[in-house]
């Protein structure tokens, strides 16, 4: 976020002039009588995806946001407008999982000779995440109806976690097996307060919700596969029988290098970008398909119209 609070690469939804009444002020009479405040909000959204799919599920429901904010404000009893603005920002980020927000709270008639007094705050997810929150990198893949399953998996993860980055989708050959459809793969970076075991359980539940069928063949085709690659400082290397590391697999290394090229792999001390530059992956061709919201939009439209 720059000094003006703008994120030029993000689409925004603006809610302006949202009026509510609440107890706010330091004087005795202000503690006894509800005061009018006017709230302006700017929140990031993916207007491109929503415009392609024409579904409310693919954008922020600003009617729901407005009603929730009014309810929150009307129950508040802060002394300072600054405190009210801060708490509205925290409320919206935590409830609606937005990455950042601009909140302006105005109190008309608060100052003699002035029409209005207002406080504006700019906040991001990182301002409210506890120190204990862990950065996690997930690998998400599918070679059974990937357009539908990957899109739905990302949407559900975004509803449950603070998602920082999502790579583009890459088409790769099936790992460890032949005579299968090609996989679609991507990497997601998120932050969570869950332990690694708790996160694994939640991801397992999500896979089951999407219809994942498990078999003894670990290389079998699958409609969705969500694996924890890196949990904090813990880098996974697969099962004990596998000697290859994450940086030896094209379907992991290429999308990871896209979103975090400077991430240092602890085993060698080299960055992800350096690992990528040193490998040819001639036997593991990778084809970039594009941004997930665009690549998966067709399946989302089919679901919404069925």
182 close to 172: Cβ distance less than 8 angstroms: yes
**CB 98, CB 43: distance < 8 Å:** yes
Name, in order, each residue with C-beta under 8 angstroms of 214's C-beta and a sequence gap of 6 or more: none
Q: Which of 107, 233, 279, 302 is catalytic?
A: 107
7, 100 contact by CB (below 8 A): yes
C-alpha angle 57-252-278 in degrees, rounded to nearest 5 = 140
Task: Identify whether 63 is a catalytic site residue.
Answer: no
Residue 79 and residue 28: Cα distance in Å, rounded? 11
* Strand ordering across the sheet containing 11-24: 77-78, 11-24, 35-45, 100-108, 116-124
CA dist., res. 142 & res. 206, Å (int): 14
List all residues 6 or more positions away from 108 whose beta carbon is below 8 Å from its beta carbon. Answer: 36, 38, 115, 116
- In this structure, the number of other CB atoms found within 10 A of the CB of residue 271 comes to 17
Query: Which residues carry out catalysis?
Result: 107
């Amino acid at each position: 976020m720059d000094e003006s609070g703008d994120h030029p690469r993000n689409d925004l939804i603006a809610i302006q002039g949202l009026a509510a009444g609440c107890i706010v002020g330091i004087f005795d009479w202000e503690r006894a009588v509800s005061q009018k405040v006017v709230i302006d909000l700017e929140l990031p959204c993916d207007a491109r995806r929503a415009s392609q799919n024409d579904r409310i599920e693919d954008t922020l429901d600003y009617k729901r946001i407005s009603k929730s904010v009014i309810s929150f404000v009307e129950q508040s009893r802060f002394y300072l407008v600054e405190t009210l603005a801060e708490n509205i920002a925290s409320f919206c980020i935590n409830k609606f999982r937005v990455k950042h927000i601009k909140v302006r709270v105005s109190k008309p008639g608060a100052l003699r000779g002035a029409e209005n007094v207002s406080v504006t705050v700019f906040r991001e997810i990182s301002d409210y995440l506890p120190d204990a929150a862990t950065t996690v990198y997930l690998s998400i893949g599918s070679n059974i109806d990937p357009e539908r399953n990957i899109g739905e998996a990302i949407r559900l993860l975004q509803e449950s976690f603070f998602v920082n980055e999502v790579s583009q989708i890459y088409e790769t050959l099936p790992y460890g097996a032949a005579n299968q459809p090609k996989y679609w793969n991507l990497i997601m970076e998120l932050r969570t307060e869950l332990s690694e075991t708790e996160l694994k359980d939640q991801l397992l539940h999500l896979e089951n919700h999407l219809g994942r069928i498990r078999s003894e063949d670990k290389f079998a085709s699958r409609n969705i596969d969500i694996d924890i690659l890196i949990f904090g400082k813990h880098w996974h290397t697969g099962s004990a029988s596998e000697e290859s590391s994450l940086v030896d697999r094209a379907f992991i290394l290429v999308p990871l290098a896209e979103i975090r090229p400077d991430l240092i792999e602890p085993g060698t001390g080299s960055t992800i970008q350096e690992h990528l530059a040193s490998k040819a992956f001639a036997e593991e061709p990778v084809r970039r398909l594009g941004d997930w919201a665009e690549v998966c939009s067709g399946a989302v439209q089919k679901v919404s119209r069925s």
